[in-house]
Amino acid sequence: MSLAVAQADASAGVDVATEMAAIGKAARTAARRLAYATTKEKNLALRAMAKAIRRNSPAILAENALDVADAREAGVVESFIDRLTLDPKRVEAMAVGIDEIAALPDPVGTVLAEWDRPNGLHIERVRTPLGVIGIIYESRPNVTADAGALCIKAGNAAILRGGSDSFRSSTAINQCLTEGLVAGGLPEAAIQIVPTRDREAVGEMLTGLSGTIDVIVPRGGRSLVERVQKEARVPVFAHLEGVCHIYVDRAADLAMAKTIAVNAKMRRVGVCGAAETLLVDKAVAGTHLEPIVEALKKAGCAIRGDEATRALVTDVAPATEADWSTEYLDAIISVKVVDGLDAAIEHIDRYGSHHTDAIITDDQSAAGRFFARVDSAIVLHNASTQFADGGEFGMGAEIGIATGKMHARGPVGVEQLTSFKYRVHGTGQIRP
């Protein structure tokens, strides 16, 4: 495998545009075949992918070790190394993930709606694949397996461009995916990884490769998202950061608020559904603020508060304007006292990222107002923001949580990777 990688690297930069155009063309051809692949064909391919990953686990780990060694030498941070590193358990988890995707219902062909017209026409709205999906992600090798498998299940071709630090790992994983495709009688080009570490390749993908890419799914940090927003000429499933809020309303149960706030912030601090800001209704700041903040502190969380918060609780660092729109992804929370529900809604609208926001209250009408006016992909009442997850929603595997409002919003699973068409059944009808 290393040899192939070295060759790909050597040829990189020669003419990335030509190379990427060829990838796009091959993906488009594969997508046409995928579009009418049967459920059986797709699942056969997926199960064969999982098997190939299990069988080739030592080879994948060997390639991954080279990636990790290079990354260490380059001096990247430990959290980066952690995301990059595979072990036998993580490889097995990839295989299990693909088997789970095989077990999901096939979205393609599902009749979403059907009705009859007075002239006898029978109209169906039916799920179809989207076409070719370009996925740009960071150095997390497992995304190669997850994203490739999700695309296949939904009948799409995938062009995958992972972080260059995981290039060898992704290539090794992709060889297993290819093996599965062949076993299922599907075209090899249905999943391609971009065979160059050149950043120019990302630019080419963002132009849509002459109309061969239907949608781009960016998975990454702020710099990737900003680049995508600046350069993309094709539709994008926006995945912005998760600046998620917990609003403790005047009618909140204190014990529930405490438990949820701690869970929403501290269960896992590095996920996009982790809470970053706690808003507390002025009306209950005197009773609720201190116990909640102390519970967070006890759980190991650093607190940055506004003046009102600092007046009520000790050991709180001052929050700056930047804090309100910061996704810490760390054991830090910003805390603010707000003048009631509408002030909370206004704060979330101004500083949030339209990802996931929760209200804690026993007042149904307050919850209703929050639900109607907070313009986020996911709004919760009396539950932790950490439920922002396709699996937790019962939707199966996901590529991420979309924060845009076009096409996909919230967890992006197999159904969100589809489009639809209208099938009209007639018996000779003409339009008068």
Contact residues for its own copies (CB under 8 A)?
Answer: 32, 35-36, 115, 117, 121, 123, 128, 130-131, 214-215, 232-233, 235-236, 253, 256, 259-260, 263-264, 267, 349, 371-373, 375-384, 386-387, 392-394, 404-407, 409-410, 419-431
Least distance in Å: CB of 370 to its own copies? Answer: 10
C-alpha torsion sign, points 177, 77, 354, 202: negative
Residue 260, Cβ density class (10 Å: 0-12 exposed, 13-18 middle, ≥19 buried): buried
Least distance in Å: CB of 419 to its own copies? Answer: 4
Q: Could you give the 3-state DSSP secondary structure of residue 177?
A: helix
C-alpha torsion sign, points 353, 301, 268, 384: negative
* Residue in the structure block whose two tokens are 């993908």: 205
The two structure tokens encoding residue 263: 């869970």
Least distance in Å: CB of 309 to its own copies? Answer: 23
Torsion of CA 117, 123, 125, 128, to 10 degrees: -160
- Residue 369's Cβ-side half-sphere holds a number of Cα atoms within 13 Å equal to 16
Least distance in Å: CB of 19 to its own copies? Answer: 24
Name beta bridge partners: 279: 247, 336
In angstroms, the CA 69 to CA 46 distance is 31
Q: How many CB atoms lie within 10 A of CB 40?
A: 11
Instruction: Tell me whether residue 89 or residue 431 sits nearer to its own copies (CB atom).
Output: 431
With beta carbons less than 8 A apart as the criterion, state whether 87 and 61 touch. Answer: yes
Q: What is the 3-state secondary structure (H, E, C) of 212-262?
A: CCCEEEEECCHHHHHHHHHHCCCCECCCCCCCEEEEECCCCCHHHHHHHHH
Least distance in Å: CB of 61 to its own copies? Answer: 30
With beta carbons less than 8 A apart as the criterion, state whether 413 and 392 touch. Answer: no
Least distance in Å: CB of 422 to its own copies? Answer: 5
Instruction: Tell me whether residue 64 or residue 376 sits nearer to its own copies (CB atom).
Output: 376
Least distance in Å: CB of 151 to its own copies? Answer: 14
Least distance in Å: CB of 75 to its own copies? Answer: 34
In angstroms, the CA 190 to CA 157 distance is 4
Strands 111-116 and 122-129, by their bridges, are antiparallel
What is the per-residue DSSP string for 183-206?
A: HTT--GGGEEE-S---THHHHHHH
Instruction: Tell me whether residue 159 or residue 173 sits nearer to its own copies (CB atom).
Output: 159
Least distance in Å: CB of 11 to its own copies? Answer: 31
Instruction: Tell me whether residue 12 or residue 274 sits nearer to its own copies (CB atom).
Output: 274
Q: How many CB atoms lie within 10 A of CB 320?
A: 10
Least distance in Å: CB of 27 to its own copies? Answer: 15
Strands 132-137 and 410-412, by their bridges, are unpaired
With beta carbons less than 8 A apart as the criterion, state whether 60 and 86 touch. Answer: yes
Least distance in Å: CB of 117 to its own copies? Answer: 6
Name the residue type at position 250: R
In angstroms, the CA 368 to CA 365 distance is 5
* Residue 6 CA: distances (Å) to CA of 3, 12, 70, 193, 416: 5, 10, 14, 15, 36
In angstroms, the CA 264 to CA 421 distance is 39
Least distance in Å: CB of 222 to its own copies? Answer: 15
The two structure tokens encoding residue 357: 């926001």
